[in-house]
Chain A
Amino acid sequence: MAGEDKPEYWRWPESRWTNPDLDWKAGDIITAGVDVGSVSSQAAIMVDGQLFAYSNMRTGSNSPDSAVNAMDWALKDTGMTLDDINYVVGTGYGRVNVPFSNRAITEIACHARGGNFMYGPTVRTILDMGGQDCKAIRCDGRGKVEEFLMNDKCAAGTGRGMEVFADLLSVPIQDVGEMSLDIDEEPNPVSSTCVVFAKTEATGLLREGWPKEKVLAAYCSAMAHRVVTLLERLGVEEDFAITGGIAKNRGVVKRLEDELGITTLEPRYDTQIAGAVGAALFAEALVKKQRKQAGG
């Protein structure tokens, strides 16, 4: 294939974390959530409702292996093994292909529950901007979904659309946000929603002599605007949080905040783990339910 030597501008950094203050061996209920998305996969491990460890990595060529890899990386150096975990819930696009899971739950329900944990019970609107989809969720104080919409049909407003632009402009994807803010004056957004047409438009702008920063600004603001129209279908109720990979892109987040006139909650964890955390919480509730049924 052509272009093998080309740098991979779309590559984003993977991450993992372990809670140093938590002695898992003293725990009672240990559960895990595994979110296998089309672009990234995460595993989150909870001990009695507290976050113990997580991993966030790129999805490989097949879902089962990606689930195993994410889980292994989260468990690494913790002394814990898969056998120590009472219950595993799979979620995300590849949720039915998590080999060691006890149940699959949709990413919508898991994101709402995970968002409630990560950002606190005041969160009412969660926007998840993932690699190949975009979800807007309105939830109650317990993290139960009240309304949702999910867009996985169209690449606009997803990480994938951003990858196309990172590639077009030869800018590493994690630098896109900051670069797009390095401008003197905010340009008009790219007028096409469709990524294919937006790319044509951007090519024209570059030919006119626009610097990369300005083209990125025009695209980030188009993406923000597009997501606002999604949110408007639901109605944005505060508090508001953004999860997923694009939550790390200040260029999109800031423009989104400006257009909505509200600020987003500050993330305390990697923004990509909400689905996995929610899945682990569902798992915990399911263990408690099982015990209750067995006991009484």
Chain B
Amino acid sequence: MAITAGIDAGAKNTKVVILREDVVVGRGTNPTGFALSEAVEKAFVLALEEAGITRDQVDRIVATGAGRKAVHLAQGNVTEVTADARGANRLMPSARTVIDVGAEEGRGISIDERGVLVDSAVNEKCAAGAGAFTEAMARALEIPLEDIGELSLQSTKSIDMNAQCTVFAESELVTLVHSNTATADIARSVHDAISSRITSMVRRVGLEPEVMLIGGVGYNVGFKKSLEEDLGMKVTVPEYPEYVTALGAAIIAKEQLGGA
């Protein structure tokens, strides 16, 4: 019985998935912070504990994510888009469009029925196109990041946010707060803003149903709602959306072992 692991060394969090044959038996996560190796080790140990195995039992490890080349535990690495495609396909074979919004990057991916990557587009190196935008806005609103999604669902009207830069949007948001705009409406405008940027990126790869949203932002119900409105399509968020990339890497590790 092959046991493999996928390690997704993301900009913000490192995620590990352990697969026994085709079943997920362990997950672990730890903030990446400024010490990647430490984060990888901690997340890996957590996943091993949950799986109830020792590290010697793991046959192969594949890394992915921004820090994938610095994951010394791994025997190989794959790009995030390749891992995303494989992970999403495993969870939902009908998925043709995968949207992965992480802390520092947003990706739109089109995949075929076998989970092979067709095209991809990335929003990178600009916080306005990634989860960092929502985080900064939650901070400016002085509410926990986990709450901004639910809060925006209570909004009764939409407001346009003019600023396209996270730094400028922070000031715009403070102005809105001072002019007594309802916090729920501001929260919605935050999600509408990031959703419109993600949508235009996704349209570049061609939008085909079914659409799957993965990455940590998948937990944000407010963003999901804005995205569904912008895309004009239902969006499915799997259980544990932040682990899908690591799952894809673990699946690839198993394929690389052969005899699949």
Contacts and interface: CB of A to CB of B under 8 A. Distances in A.
Direct contact of A and B (CB under 8 A): yes
A196 B125 contact: no
B165 A155 contact: yes
A153 B104 contact: no
Quick one: which of A2, A155, A161, A193 has the most chain B CB within 10 A?
A: A155
A165 to B, nearest CB: 11
Interface in A225-263: none
Interface string B120-159: 0000011100001000100000100000000000000000
A2 B140 CA distance: 11
Contact of B126 (A2, A154, A160, A204): A154
Contact of A207 (B34, B125, B168): B34
Contacts of A208: 34
Contacts, number: 38
B183 interface: no
B167 interface: yes
Interface residues of A, number: 17
A31 interface: no
Given A204-B34, A207-B34, A197 B167 contact: no
Contacts of A132: 168
B80 to A, nearest CB: 17
A195 B167 contact: yes
A164 interface: yes
B104 A197 contact: yes
B125 A153 contact: no
B126 A194 contact: yes
Contacts of A160: 167-168
A24 to B, nearest CB: 39
A50 interface: no
Given A2-B142, A154-B126, 15 more contacts: A153-B164, A153-B165, A154-B164, A154-B165, A155-B168, A164-B167, A194-B125, A194-B126, A194-B127, A195-B127, A195-B165, A195-B167, A196-B167, A197-B104, A207-B34
The 6 closest A-B pairs by CB, nearest first: A155-B167, A196-B127, A204-B34, A154-B165, A196-B166, A195-B167
